[in-house]
Amino acid sequence: MNDIRDLLPGRMRERAFQLKARRDTGAAWHEPQFVECKQCGRRATRQIWAKSLFVCPNCGNHQPIGAYYRLSLVLDSGSFRELDAELAPQDVLGFPGYPEKLNAQTQKTGLSEAVVAAVGRIGGVSVVAAVLDSRFFMGSMSTAVGEKITRAIEYAAAKKLPLVIFSASGGARMQEGIFSLMQMAKTSAAIERFSARGGLYISVLTHPTTGGVTASFASLGDIMLAEPGALIGFAGPRVIEQTIGERLPEGFQRSEFQLEHGFVDKVVPRSELRATLIQLLQLHAGGRKTE
């Protein structure tokens, strides 16, 4: 009986996780069955998009995806355990209308904040993974996002586990002002302490990764990976062009441009990301699977 009771919580946790991942694809929200690519404008059924991991079946454009769904694509089945799920944003400045907007974002996405952190396994290797979700306030960095990222880093350090962070963000959250900007220093300091203890940090940059997230933890990986076509930079190209009064090079700030200029180590299609992470993590673990 004790063995059965020990198994049930894990099964229930995995089922809840898979339901959240399915909801991220729109399957549980009764959304339109046809999805239009924002790049080429062509449409395909939601089932076809899901089969292609939400990479356009016509032009290969990588559509932003939800945090739970992304974790379901890389974590070993049954290994997901969420960290600090109860951590929610605070209206630290009493910003007009902010609580109502937070509630609307939660109702729309099912998320309590713009980041999901978890411990799990990838190819048998235990890891801490955090995913920013651009559907919630454009993945902007609030005090709660900074705290959850920092706690994930500290958990990885305490447990001596590798760290993988998937970034997708529009930068700081204006409703939290200077407190949002403080998270840049907070998360960067946590990464520095993690690195000083010999931890492996793999940063995966997805579309878009901009602003304060790019200027802090997203750019501090020991290994920098990026999805194809991802916009990666501090300010966007339109703002830069308006500032300098010049036209930017073709593909400026896209992941392929960043690879060519040494900012990222490899551009990895979504279909190959799990295999790439398995290879890197098992090399780091010396070929040994961890519990």
Contact (CB, 8 A) for 185 and 145: no
Q: Known binder of ligand: residue 250?
A: no
Distance CA 267, CA 264 (A): 7
Distance CA 94, CA 24 (A): 30
Name the CA radius of gyration of the chain, rounded.
19
Q: What residues are paired with 167 via a beta bridge?
A: 205
Q: Known binder of ligand: residue 37?
A: yes
For helices 67-74 and 2-24, angle between their N-to-C axes, nearest 10 degrees: 120
Q: Known binder of ligand: residue 40?
A: yes
Q: Known binder of ligand: residue 128?
A: no
Q: Which of 243, 165, 235, 240 is nearest to 203 (CA)?
A: 165
Q: What residues are paired with 83 via a beta bridge?
A: 117
Distance CA 267, CA 256 (A): 7
Distance CA 246, CA 243 (A): 8
Give me 143's structure tokens. Answer: 């005090």
Q: Which residues are annotated as a binding site?
A: 37, 40, 56, 59
* Binding-site residue ranges for Zn(2+): 37, 40, 56, 59
